[in-house]
């Protein structure tokens, strides 16, 4: 399977959002990664529905919505209506995770669960078969431009092994400090979807960085 590249709009220029959305439209990227932060689950506030709807208005690719919020259940339908294709909630924010996943599917979206760096992959064993995606955070969520946490590679390997047993179609996404420099190692550890904010929008030529990330060749996968 060819891997998925999901530029994180958090690192875009919000004063030129349409321009940056169109850059992604015309690039080799697959998804838009949309980071929603509430200032409670994470120590930062990003944006909500009006900005997401503005992105949706111009985006020609699916919106991959990463909810870094408490009580995500109360907003699932709103995010689906606002144009989410994938809705990812945090394991740490959901008391009744199975119910939340059912609600995401009932709203017509693909369902993902995100794990903070300290949350073990093994906790997903009894929900893995119900998921479309797992997002492994490779930084503490809340901010773009942070340094990649190396233990993420061990978590990806463990998740890949679990997925082979329980859900071979599972998309394994990695988010935080990702870019051309570590993509190959992440692919070899089992990741199949890659979020990148600063590595793309901070580059002189974002389209070229996206193309490099999309076309990377690895020894293992022979893509």
Active-site amino acid positions: 35, 175
Nearest to 33 by CA among 182, 189, 197, 207: 197
Alpha-helical segments (H) within 15-132: 17-25, 49-58, 76-81, 97-106
> Pairing mode, if any, of strands 193-196 and 110-115?
unpaired
Instruction: Please identify which residue in 46, 52, 66, 82 interacts with Zn ion, judged by CB under 5 A.
Output: 66
Helix (H, G, I), strand (E, B) or coil at 86: strand
The nearest distance, CB 59 to ligand DX5, in angstroms, is: 16
Q: Among 18-26, 60-68, 101-109, 213-221, which window interacts with Zn ion (CB under 5 A)? A: 60-68
Q: How many chain residues interact with Zn ion (CB under 5 A)? A: 3
d(CA 29, CA 14): 19
Cβ proximity to ligand DX5: between 82 and 200 the closer is: 200
The nearest distance, CB 173 to Zn ion, in angstroms, is: 9
Q: Which residue's beta carbon is nearest to the bound Zn ion? A: 66
Q: Which residues bind ligand DX5 (CB under 6 A)?
A: 8, 10-11, 33, 35, 66, 139, 141-146, 175-178, 195-199
Strand partners, 36: 67
Contacts of 72 (CB under 8 A, 6+ apart): 87, 89, 90, 93, 94, 100
Residues in 145-204 that interact with Zn ion by CB under 5 A: 175
Q: Does 35 bind Zn ion (CB under 5 A)?
A: yes
What is the binding site for Zn ion (CB under 5 A)? 35, 66, 175
């Amino acid at each position: 399977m060819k891997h998925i590249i999901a530029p994180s709009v958090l690192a875009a220029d919000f004063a030129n959002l349409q321009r940056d959305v169109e850059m992604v439209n015309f690039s080799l990227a697959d998804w838009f990664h949309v980071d929603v932060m509430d200032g409670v689950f994470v120590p930062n506030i990003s944006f909500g529905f009006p900005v997401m709807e503005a992105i949706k208005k111009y985006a020609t690719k699916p919106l991959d919505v990463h909810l870094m919020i408490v009580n995500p259940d109360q907003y699932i339908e709103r995010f689906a209506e606002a144009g989410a294709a994938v809705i990812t909630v945090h394991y740490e924010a959901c008391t009744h995770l199975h119910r939340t996943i059912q609600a995401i599917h009932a709203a017509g979206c693909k369902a993902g669960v995100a794990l903070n760096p300290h949350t073990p992959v093994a906790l997903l064993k009894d929900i893995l078969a119900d998921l479309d995606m797992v997002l492994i955070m490779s930084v503490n969520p809340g901010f773009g431009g942070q340094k990649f946490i190396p233990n993420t590679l061990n978590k990806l390997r463990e998740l890949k092994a679990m997925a082979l047993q329980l859900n071979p179609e599972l998309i394994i996404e990695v988010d935080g400090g990702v870019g051309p420099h570590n993509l190959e190692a992440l692919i070899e550890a089992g990741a199949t979807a890659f979020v990148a904010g600063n590595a793309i929008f901070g580059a002189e030529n974002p389209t070229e960085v996206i193309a490099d990330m999309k076309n990377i060749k690895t020894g293992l996968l022979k893509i």
